Structure 1
Amino acid sequence: MASGFTNLHRLFLQAAISRRLMTEAAALELYSQVCNLTEEPFDQDNFTDLITQMNEGLNSVELEFRRSQDEVTGAPVIALTNTNGQKTAQVATGYSSTELEYFKHLVEAMVMADDEAYCISSTAALHETGNIKTSEGKPVTLTKRDAEVLLDRFVADKWFIRSGAGAYSLSMRALLELQTYLKETYEEQIQECTLCMEIITKGQRCQVAACAARLHHHCASQYFKNMNNKVCPTCHTNWSDKILIGLSDRTSAPSKVRKRRQRKTNGAGGEANNEGEADNQGEAAGDNDEESDEE
Structure 2
Amino acid sequence: MAVTLFDSHRRFLQTIMCNGIMEGSKAKAVHRHCCEVYHTPYTDDSLDEFIDLINSYLQPLFMQIRKGMSEDDGLQYYTLVNMAETDITRMSSDYADNELELFRKTMDLIVDSENGTASSTDVLNCADSLQTKKMKKKETEQVLSRLVQDKWLNEKHGEYTLSTRCIMEMEQYIRNIYQDLVKSCAICHNIAFQSQMCCNPSCGIKIHIPCAARYYKGRVDPRCPACSKFWPHEIPAIRTSSQVSTLSPPVASAISTSQSRRMR
Task: Give yes or no for TM over 0.5.
Answer: yes
Shift of 1:239: 0.8
Aligned with 2:196 (options 188, 194, 204): 204
Q: Distance in 2 between matches of 1:150 and 1:73?
A: 25
Q: Secondary structure at the match of 2:46?
A: helix
Give TM-score scaled by structure 1 length.
0.73
Residue of structure 2 in register with 1:172 after alignment: 164
Residue of structure 2 in register with 1:117 after alignment: 115
Q: Distance in 2 between matches of 1:19 and 1:121?
A: 28
Where is the helix percentage greater, Structure 1 or Structure 2?
2
Per-residue CA distance 1:48-86 (angstroms, 9 max, x = gap): 121101111112222211112221322122121222353
RMSD of aligned Cα (Å): 2.2
**In the alignment, is the contact (CA less than 8 A) between 1:84 and 1:90 conserved in 2?**
no
1:80 aligns with 2:77: no
Of stretches 79-88 and 154-163 in structure 1, the one that deviates more from structure 2 is 79-88
Between Structure 1 and Structure 2, how many residues are aligned?
235
**In the alignment, is the contact (CA less than 8 A) between 2:212 and 2:235 conserved in 1?**
no
Q: Give, as a single letter, the amino acid of the residue that structure 1 aligns with 2:118.
A: I
Cα gap change, 1:49/1:243 in structure 2, threshold over 3 Å: closer, same or farther? closer
Q: Give, as a single letter, the amino acid of the residue that structure 2 aligns with 1:124.
A: D
Residue of structure 1 in register with 2:107 after alignment: 107
Residue of structure 1 in register with 2:251 after alignment: none
Per-residue CA distance 1:240-291 (angstroms, 9 max, x = gap): 11599xxxxxxxxxxxxxxxxxxxxxxxxxxxxxxxxxxxxxxxxxxxxxxx
Residue of structure 1 in register with 2:247 after alignment: none
Aligned with 2:139 (options 121, 136, 146): 146
RCO (CA 8 Å, sep 6+): is it higher in 1 or 2? 2
Residue of structure 1 in register with 2:228 after alignment: 236
Shift of 1:198: 0.7
Cα gap change, 1:230/1:93 in structure 2, threshold over 3 Å: closer, same or farther? same
Aligned with 1:216 (options 205, 208, 212): 208
Runs of 4+ with >6 A deviation: none
Q: Distance in 2 between matches of 1:84 and 1:109?
A: 27
Shift of 1:149: 1.1
Q: Give, as a single letter, the amino acid of the residue that structure 2 aligns with 1:148.
A: E
**In the alignment, is the contact (CA less than 8 A) between 1:85 and 1:179 conserved in 2?**
no
Q: Distance in 1 between matches of 2:234 and 2:46?
A: 41
Residue of structure 1 in register with 2:27 after alignment: 27
Q: Which runs of 5+ in 1 are unaligned?
A: 134-138, 245-295
Q: Give, as a single letter, the amino acid of the residue that structure 2 aligns with 1:170.
A: L
**In the alignment, is the contact (CA less than 8 A) between 2:98 and 2:134 conserved in 1?**
yes
Give TM-score scaled by structure 2 length.
0.82
Q: Give, as a single letter, the amino acid of the residue that structure 1 aligns with 2:207.
A: L
1:5-24 equivalences under 5 Å are 5-24=5-24
Aligned with 2:187 (options 195, 204, 212): 195
